[in-house]
Every structure is written in C-alpha cells, then in structure tokens.
A and B are shown apart, each in its own frame.
Chain A
Amino acid sequence: MAGRRILLGVIGRPHGVRGLLRVTSYTADPAALASYGPLRTEDGRVFTLAWRGEGIAEFTELRDGVPVKPTDRAAAERLTNTRLYAERDRLPPPAEDEFYLADLVGLAAVDGSGAALGTVRVVHDYGAGASLEIAREGAGPLLVPFTRAAVPMVDIAAGRLTVLAPDEVVGEMAGEAATGDDAAGGQSRSAPPADRPARARPTPFGTQPRGPIVPGGAHSGGAHPGAAHPGAAHPGGAHPGGAPADGGPPGGEAAGFRSARGAHAGAEHA
C-alpha cells in the first residue's frame, strides 16, 4: 500500500483570463480534493489548489518550494489534462468494515479452501449494496455481494480476500413459464406458450401476423388486429388470469398483486 498513488482528479479547461482552471474531481465529495494537500502529477510536479468557484480552482505549482501561479490564460492552458495524484497513505483510515475501492480492486480472490478464484476487477455500487466482480481465467466474471456472508475475510495487507460464493437460485423457472401458471405469474421470455397467440407485428400497411392465421379463431393475433380487440373488450372471464372488469384482483392471483399475465392479458391482443 505504501508508495501507491491514487488518481484524484484532472485539470480541465481554463476559466477566464487570470489563470483559473476548471477541475474534474473524482473524490466522493468533490470539494475534498483540496483537503489532500499538495497533489502530484505524472511527471513529478507538485500543485496545490484553492477553490474559487464551483469546479473552478486556482493552482499553484511548487518549484523547489517556491510557489508559481499561472497568471494568464495561456499559462493555464498548458495545465489542461494534467492528472492529479495523491499518495495512498494520505487517505484517512476507513471505519470498521469499510474499504477503499482502490484497495479492493486488484486483490486476489480465493475460496474457502484457499484455491484461487481470480482477481477483483470492479467494485459495483448502484445503491443496493456493493458487489465485487471477480475476473476468472477461462470462465465468465463472478459477481458476489460484498457482505460478511459472501466475503468473510478481507486482508488488504496480504492482497487477498476469501469469497464464499452464494448459491444461485433461478427466480423464473422455465417449467413454470412453459405451463403458463397464472397463480405463480410465470412467464416465458422465449417462445410464448401454445395457448397464447403470437403478437401482431406492425408494418406500414397495418399489423401482420407472426403466427399462422387461423380462420375464425377467436384469439388469433393475425385474425384480430389490435384495433378490433382492445384490452377492455376482454373481461377477465374470457382470459384465464385476466383482470376482472370490476377492477378487483386478477383471477388466480395470490395476495392481491397484479400478475404479469393478468395485467397484460388485454394488451396481448392490442
């Protein structure tokens, strides 16, 4: 960990004619960029910054301890696209069970028996808890939630973490979808069940059937283009699992929630 540097921001375009510059901050709190003290560039130069507006800063380069400021726009332009780094040691220690993403990325992942699984490539966090994406050789990436149950041991100093990959349960059973179990609300993402008509395909000349046209078929998608059968024209009794006309819970649906097929039974023919 010692000696590592972390990218904290990038200098952007000049602002005005007095040497101010826009800054893209990558820190969790953008304003905290100035709190890390002097920042280094890739070529070893040292800068300090002072905020002069939202996202606008005044930079000072320290040359042998002597502060030098860009005073005009031309001097500021020469700093554009300069990357700003800080030493990893300058980051404050995280709280218990908190880890810097920069520390987690690159750790070796091992399973409970110590066998290598791969390397942590990305840490995802979209508001529903962090998860680790582990790159594996010869297999697709493994995604595990960053919880005590799935990742019981994290050893930053040793550069590895233990992963107990949770069991995966398929939420949508293929068998349920194929049987069209309305009580379970199962639905198929592949071919529609045999008792459901194929959707009509819109064309410049109206709707064209995907499936074969059944002459006189009451529910053939081709025989009944959408305008002829709006959803409201099919009460719940006509379609298994459809929404009743009185607005009550769909037939066969548990707990009063709308099921997928119940809610969209009318739309199938629209």
Chain B
Amino acid sequence: MTRSVWKGPFVDGYMLKKAETARASARNEIIKIWSRRSTILPQFVGLTFGVYNGHKFLPVQVTENMVGHKFGEFSPTRTFHGHSADKKAKRG
C-alpha cells in the first residue's frame, strides 16, 4: 500500500470548514486561500477559490477534473501572458 493511500490526501483543515460554509450560503463569493499545498477534494467542486501566487489571488473554479490536484497547480507564480492571437475564453 502506497503512502498516499493509507495516509490520505493532505488538506488544510480550515478549508473544509470554509467550503461547507460557502456551499451552505450559496452566494457568489471567492474564498481567498494561501494554502497552495492542499489537495482539491470532491467537496470543493463548484466553488471558486482565490489562490495566492505570492502576488495576487487568482480565481480557481473547481471542477471534477481537478480533484486530486493541488491548488497551487492552477495559480502559477511566474508571469507569462503569452499572446492572445486567436485564443478564446469560455464563460463558465
């Protein structure tokens, strides 16, 4: 049995409480977090977190495909804007 199986995913405990509170309120809100190391759990799907990247809180809309990843993976710490060209953004 691998370490990650018996030990379970890591998540900062306060985030579970905040997620429950945000889900219960059902308001349009962003939960600002510094915990980039926390694993994205199924309880977080549908919520929007502002994940700190050392400079600003980037909005992260949690979807099912992101479960198991860490929050920090979606909030890069290096600046790269790239070029827009013909790239499109879909409104969620």
Interface residues of A in 9-53 (CB under 8 A from B): 9, 26-28, 32
Q: How distant is the Cα of A28 from the Cα of B81 in the complex, in angstroms? A: 14
**Range of interface residues on B (Cβ < 8 Å):** 35 or more
The answer to the question of A232 belonging to the interface, with a C-beta cut-off of 8 Å to chain B, is: no
Closest approach, in angstroms, between the C-beta of A119 and any C-beta of chain B? 15
Closest to B41 in A: A257
B contact patch SS: mixed
Question: Does A3 belong to the interface (CB within 8 Å)?
Answer: no
Contacting pair A258 B7 (CB below 8 A): yes
Give the shortest distance, in Å, between B72 (CB) and chain A (any CB): 11
**A149 CB, nearest partner CB in chain B, Å:** 5
Q: A145-B30, A169-B29 are contacts. A100–B86 as well, Cβ < 8 Å?
A: yes
Q: Please name all residues of chain B whose beta carbon is closer than 8 Å to the beta carbon of A256 when the two chains form the complex.
A: 8
Whether B59 and A127, one on each chain, are in contact in the complex, defined by CB atoms closer than 8 angstroms, is no
Q: Does A97 contact B16, Cβ atoms closer than 8 Å?
A: no
Q: Which of A8, A27, A182, A258 has the most CB of B within 10 A?
A: A258
Contact: B22 with A169, CB < 8 Å?
Answer: yes
CB distance from B10 to the nearest CB of A (A): 5
Known: A26-B82, A176-B14. A150 touches B58 (CB 8 A): no
Which one of A97, A105, A141, A182 lies within 8 Å of B91 (CB-CB)? A97
Given the known A-B contacts A169-B30, A254-B13, are A101 and B92 also in contact in the complex, defined by CB atoms under 8 Å? Answer: no
**Contact between chains at B29 and A97 (CB < 8 Å):** no
For B13, give its contact among A128, A164, A260 (CB under 8 Å): A260
Q: How far is the CA of A104 from the CA of B87 in the complex (A)?
A: 11
Return 20 A-B CB contacts under 8 Å, by A number: A6-B85, A98-B90, A99-B91, A100-B87, A100-B89, A102-B86, A126-B74, A126-B75, A128-B62, A129-B92, A146-B92, A147-B61, A148-B92, A166-B28, A171-B33, A187-B12, A257-B8, A257-B13, A258-B10, A258-B11
